[in-house]
Structure 1
Amino acid sequence: MQSPHHTLGPSRRALLLGAGAAAAASAVTAGQASAVAAGQNIVAGRTGTADDAAARLADVPIPSPDTLPLTGGPDFPIGLFWPPHPYASTPERFTEIAEAGFDFVISGNYAGDGNIFQHQLGLARTAGLKMLISDDIQIRNLSRWFSISDQPADNLSVTPAEARQLYTRARDAYGPYSSMAGFNLYDEPGAGWFGTLAKAVAISRELAPQLLPYINLFPSDDPAYYNAFVDVVKPSLVSFDRYPLLSEGREDANYFHNWAIVRAAALRAGVPAWVFIQTLAYHGHREPTAAEMLWQINISLAYGAKGIQYFTYWTPEAARGEGFGPALITVDGRRTSRYAAAKKINTTWLHPVGRQLKPLVSETVVHANETPLPNSTSPFVPTDLVTAVTGQPLVIGTFRSRDPEVTDRWLLVANRSHSTSARGALTFNPAKVTGVDVFHPISTAYAANRSATFPVSLPPGGAQLLHVHTR
């Protein structure tokens, strides 16, 4: 069902996944038939009374994101959607993914069989990658195709006990692989599905607290959609997709607005914010340049992103419609220029700078020297740290340590433009700031800047990370 707050229409991820819904439904039907034949009474023919499982779910502890795969640990997670299809799932292809600086793969591209998932998990383990599995027979029976209800009269539902059986089978099938990071419970749910997803997430935490219960949300201009998600589902992260690079050189006017809403919801819930970036052309959207890919990433970092995901890695074939252009890898397996661009961005910039930003808390994000301001953005105003920002338009994210005793701040200064270079300067308050260090991603070290004014010179889509020492 569709969220009443969703105002943008189906996203490309929804259409990609929806194109395979008939095949998935057939798989679900077959899975149900097998389960019923085995006496497990998954949906039809249910016997007995409702148990107290629903009440138990409310008491399941919520693990810290710091303890989970991908959201935890020091490394900044970089993932991809639409991986190599089953016939192209080879050691060489998964090594190719890892060499481009990716950390995890969200399964898809006609991988729906348990044997294929196990094969891919083995390849991922060898390549040093993690996987989020989109299991249509077990997991999506409890999180997408049916609701979870302890009321026997509810149609198209499974009880919490039956949902546990489904989850346990999937966990036991894929859990032994060290590359298993978690399950993709639902891609782009409407708000009406949040109640069932809350139960599915609780079941995941109860039966496999070491796995990440992953859900990606629609793009939306309404804060109520994201606030309801964090309040009802109590997720381990807030992930969304919105692709801002439109045809004829246009830019989605509400891209920053959507990011501001997601940032606020994630901060309120105390969980990481993840986003998908656009890697290909499709109806109404243009093919990104390397600078435009970098720009999406750096704007997202400035807005507090703690995970970046690429849409897509492998190119969807023409039969899926929507006019998909080449992504990082073409339909027939050839690398495009965007593969090389992603590899450079991931390995020489995003991984090292992301590792610095991941443990920090987003404090503010402002747009400097930009008139008119995009919808829902905040203008730069002088602070006790930065008294002036001159030059061309910049987006500045300010971050603090989780330790309240640490008064230092970190600034991610991003070029507002993805097509032109930006020059400017930040003036720091000498009464408050004792020094500014500049992060160099190649050496992964900071270099001191001794002037009270810091010059900025950024390529299209580029950014710099500063460590501001305070009194």
Structure 2
Amino acid sequence: MQSPHQTLGMSRRALLLGAGATALTAGAVSAASATTASASTASASTTSASAGSASAGSASGAAAGGSIGSAAVAVPSPDTLPLTGGADFPIGLFWPPHPYASTAERFGEIKNAGFDFVISGNYAGDGNIFQYQLGLARDAGLKMLISDDIQIRNMSRWFSISDTPSDFLSVTPAEASALYIRARDAYGPFSSLAGFNFYDEPGAGWFATLAKALSISRELAPQLLPYINLFPSDDASYYRSFVDVVKPSLISFDRYPLLSEGREDANYFHNWAIVRDAALHGDIPSWVFIQTLAYNNHREPTAAELLWQVNISLAYGAKGIQYFTYWTPEAARGEGFGPALITVDGERTSRYYAAKQINTTWLHQVGRELKPLVSETVEHANETPLPNGTVGFTPTNLVSGITGDAVVVGTFRSRDAASSDRWLLVANRSHSARARAVVSVNEQTVGSIGTFQPARQKYTPQRVAPVPISLAPGAATLLKLTTK
């Protein structure tokens, strides 16, 4: 399905990412073979043709799977990889400072705002620039996902991977492996390298080649995260196929719900629901981008609307939050981009400070609680009519009722099957008005209730009785129900 944010057949994010398509590779990278050199030369003129339709990837002519040749390659657990693994909740950004603004001070500014990783872009396509930024990220305590347009994109986006040399616009598995090795060896010495950005918003026809590309990555660098971000879509089969065919380490998507004239995207929750289902199906983390700026037919978010996007995503089971964008794309890129967290001229906006507060006082803390848990249900309480793709609240043996204003309730369980405890993230359905609700529990089954205090990173116990909740616009609270 075509993204509602596409322009001339390419999405807004793809247009931004394409900025570095003709950049030079790192000086540390050896010269490419004749085959790869000719492929790189051709890539600039064939980008749109190879990426524009869901059927483009069919040229690979080989079945998808987690193997290179005939040798099976194990899919690492997300728990063992950068960003998806560990206790900390990953917070990232897209469109970082451009090369001229890539300084220690600027990368420190990113870290101080509570970000953990950077997805490269904003005209940083040259290998030497990547290495320079990786050094800045290392010194600032940040990780990076590198969008390498010559090595990685030639094996995963501009060309398909095929065992048949005569296939049009393809590289062999051996050539794809050689491309990956050059990127790995150029950037791998930097401890800040988290992994590579293989493809932004692929059509389903590319899934076979992406499966092979990820298998190559896992064979040659199992310690690195292979990252792919998907289109917004209301087609559940698109996400389910991605999980089944590509066997990704996570599922990431972007859909920006804050439209002009105060409207919301009517299918935002529906899209989240089917991504959540696909993530649970594959037992992998789900990540999402949140909207930080105005662009064509979309409004500039308030601080409460930034928080609302974060908390709705957490309620739907998000295990990673990414901001689109950090630095503001300049006017020449089109689509009417307004100021993001940092303006085109490098000035901080009010949304920078809002994001900093969200990241450092709430998201890191509550995310650390939610990251190891499994999303069990997500329900909308006290909302009529229900938005498309949502379900209303149903009483359980632990929660007997939720009354008051409209809230979105995500229920989570431990991975330990022996535990019957539950966690409830109760998020304000509104990003413009305060919500007051009451959560009633079954006193026969609930032994204790704790309210999470992010500043102390502890749960404050309270009497086992109806829990009154008051939420500012866009805000949320986390409850822990310990069973008897």
TM interval, short-chain normalised: over 0.9
Q: Is the counterpart of residue 125 in structure 1 residue 125 in structure 2? A: no
Q: Is the counterpart of residue 164 in structure 1 residue 177 in structure 2? A: yes
Q: Pick the aligned partner of 1:8 from 4, 8, 12.
A: 4
- Is contact 2:14-2:201 (8 Å) kept? no
- Is contact 1:14-1:187 (8 Å) kept? no
1:80 is aligned to 93
Change (3 A) 1:395 1:20: closer
2:21 is aligned to 24
- Is contact 2:19-2:121 (8 Å) kept? no
Change (3 A) 1:242 1:20: closer
1:352 is aligned to 365
Q: Counterpart of 1:245 in structure 2: which amino acid? A: L
Residues 332-367 of structure 1, C-alpha deviation per residue, up to 9 Å, x if partnerless?
Answer: 000000000000000000000000000000000000
Q: Is the counterpart of residue 206 in structure 1 residue 202 in structure 2? A: no
Q: CA deviation at 1:268?
A: 0.4
| Equivalent position SS for 1:410 | strand
Instruction: For 1:74 and 1:218, locate their aligned partners in 2 and report how far apart those are by CA, in whole Å.
Output: 28
- Is contact 1:367-1:396 (8 Å) kept? yes
2:336 is aligned to 323
Q: CA deviation at 1:208?
A: 0.2
Change (3 A) 1:211 1:26: closer
1:436 is aligned to 449
Residues 134-179 of structure 1, C-alpha deviation per residue, up to 9 Å, x if partnerless?
Answer: 0001000000000000101101100000000000000000011000
Instruction: For 2:248 and 2:67, locate their aligned partners in 1 and report how far apart those are by CA, in whole Å.
Output: 18
Q: Counterpart of 2:270 in structure 1: which amino acid? A: H
Q: Is the counterpart of residue 71 in structure 1 residue 84 in structure 2? A: yes
Q: CA deviation at 1:54?
A: 6.1
- Structure 2 residues not aligned, in runs of 5+: 41-61
Residues 39-60 of structure 1, C-alpha deviation per residue, up to 9 Å, x if partnerless?
Answer: 867759xxxxx9xx96536600
Q: Counterpart of 1:376 in structure 2: which amino acid? A: G
Instruction: For 2:208 and 2:30, locate their aligned partners in 1 and report how far apart those are by CA, in whole Å.
Output: 26
Alignment of 1:292-303 (within 5 A): 292-303=305-316
Change (3 A) 1:409 1:357: same
Q: What TM-score results when the alignment is normalised by the length of structure 1?
A: 0.93
Instruction: For 2:19 and 2:142, locate their aligned partners in 1 and report how far apart those are by CA, in whole Å.
Output: 30
Q: CA deviation at 1:449?
A: 1.2
Q: Pick the aligned partner of 1:236 from 249, 262, 266.
A: 249
Residues 96-153 of structure 1, C-alpha deviation per residue, up to 9 Å, x if partnerless?
Answer: 0000000000000000000000000000000000000000010000000000001011
Change (3 A) 1:292 1:228: same
| Equivalent position SS for 2:226 | strand
Instruction: For 2:17 and 2:367, locate their aligned partners in 1 and report how far apart those are by CA, in whole Å.
Output: 34
Q: Counterpart of 2:77 in structure 1: which amino acid? A: S
C-alpha RMSD over aligned residues = 2.2
2:32 is aligned to 35
- Is contact 2:3-2:11 (8 Å) kept? no
Q: CA deviation at 1:20?
A: 6.2
- Is contact 2:305-2:431 (8 Å) kept? yes
1:147 is aligned to 160
Instruction: For 2:265 and 2:479, locate their aligned partners in 1 and report how far apart those are by CA, in whole Å.
Output: 29
Q: Pick the aligned partner of 2:208 from 195, 211, 218.
A: 195
- Is contact 2:438-2:469 (8 Å) kept? yes
Q: Counterpart of 2:299 in structure 1: which amino acid? A: R
Q: Counterpart of 1:59 in structure 2: which amino acid? A: A
Instruction: For 2:13 and 2:276, locate their aligned partners in 1 and report how far apart those are by CA, in whole Å.
Output: 26
- Structure 1 residues not aligned, in runs of 5+: 45-49
Q: CA deviation at 1:8?
A: 2.8
Extract structure 1 runs of 4+ deviating beyond 4 A. 25-28, 39-44
